[in-house]
Amino acid sequence: MLRAGIIGASGYTGSELVRLLAAHPGVKIEALTSRSLAGKSVGEVIPSLRGLVDLRFEDHNPRGLAGRCDVVFTSVPHGSAMETVPGLLDAGIRVVDLSADYRLSKEAYEAAYRKPHTGFRPAVYGLPEVHPEVPGARLVANPGCYPTGCILAAAPLLSKGLVERAIFDCKSGVSGAGSSPSATSHYPNLAENIIPYDVTSHRHVPEMVQEANRLSPKPVKLHFTPHVFPAIRGILTTGHLLLREKADPERVRRLYEEWTRGKPFLRLAETPSLASVRGSNFCDIGWRAEDGGERVVVLSAIDNLVKGAAGQAIQNMNLMFGLPETEGLRNSPVP
């Protein structure tokens, strides 16, 4: 039985980790930390978990997890994980970091987040469908929610070097912005509305560029614009892939069927929708080839809190410790 801890367990992603790990047959939740909620019971703070998790939040003390945990999930703001992760690794604990601190090279991180990286360690990028080196890793950098939906949707064509330029448009539910209200997530501003933000400068772009060019044997130009709309969960991705050469629909179909085969959380769908993946670790993927074959429109739907965060983190944990990839994650979507 794996002993797991979660640092930063009270936010949206941390709470989702607690929910999923509480039902995982191979895991015992050993410790949940929160600076502001230390001493309070989980059921008091997260009523949906009342009677399911009999623990109290602890103060933030990573050293206190040594000898207690085999794996720790760090679900903390960008820039905070680098203060905690090195000590956990030095204590022999494996780590799945859900912040952005270890997804990029040191230089790329400092350029994108405009701060020095003071605790850099090499990590495996935790998109298991793309990175076979996840099993056995000591530190896994869980991907961002937007890169997960975008890269998985485009991967079959990227991997063949067919994509010259990729233009992604994503619609996200408000939970992706975290639990603190902002101008774009405050209900009166968002109700019956949809708001673009960081239109040409979202911090996930370097992550997408990194992974697209790892997959593709030829350089790819990439553009991304996110929007937030009045739903709680989910990201719907529309990607316009401009190809180097014409590809007929039958070839595209074969590439998607071959690439997704054997990947338990990828499902091909005629028209992906958020209702078909809500609460699950599935990524539904669809595509349309434009007449003439020079553009393929790819589509994906994920739950940003599950496949886009907590569920993918547990998928990575399973692989790191040699457990079945799907263990604790085979729950069906909630339509």
- The full set of domain ranges for the chain reads 2-122, 146-303
Strand partners, 225: 169
Percent of the chain at pLDDT > 70 equals 96
CB atoms within 10 A of CB 138: 15
Q: Of 92, 58, 54, 55, whose CA–CA distance to 72 is shortest?
A: 92
CATH topology of domain 2-122: Rossmann fold (3.40.50)
Tokens of 71: 């794996």
3-state secondary structure of 216: coil
- Are 328 and 314 in contact by the 8 Å Cβ rule? The answer is yes
Q: 64-86 pLDDT, tens per residue? A: 898 999 999 999 998 999 999 99
- Are 110 and 116 in contact by the 8 Å Cβ rule? The answer is yes
CATH topology of domain 146-303: Dihydrodipicolinate Reductase; domain 2 (3.30.360)
Average pLDDT of the chain, as a whole number: 94
Tokens of 227: 């929007």
Q: How far is CA 302 from the centre of its chain?
A: 9
Strand partners, 241: 166, 296
Strand partners, 171: 227, 236
pLDDT for 183: 66
Q: 220-260 pLDDT, tens per residue? A: 999 999 999 999 999 999 999 999 999 899 999 999 999 99
Q: 11-20 pLDDT, tens per residue? A: 899 999 999 9
Q: How far is CA 202 from the centre of its chain?
A: 16
Q: 28-77 pLDDT, tens per residue? A: 999 999 988 888 999 999 999 999 999 999 987 877 898 999 999 999 99
- Give mean pLDDT, residues 124-142: 97
Report, as residue numbers or ranges, the catalytic residues. Answer: 145
CA distances 149 to 153, 192, 235, 289, 298, Å, are 6, 24, 7, 19, 10
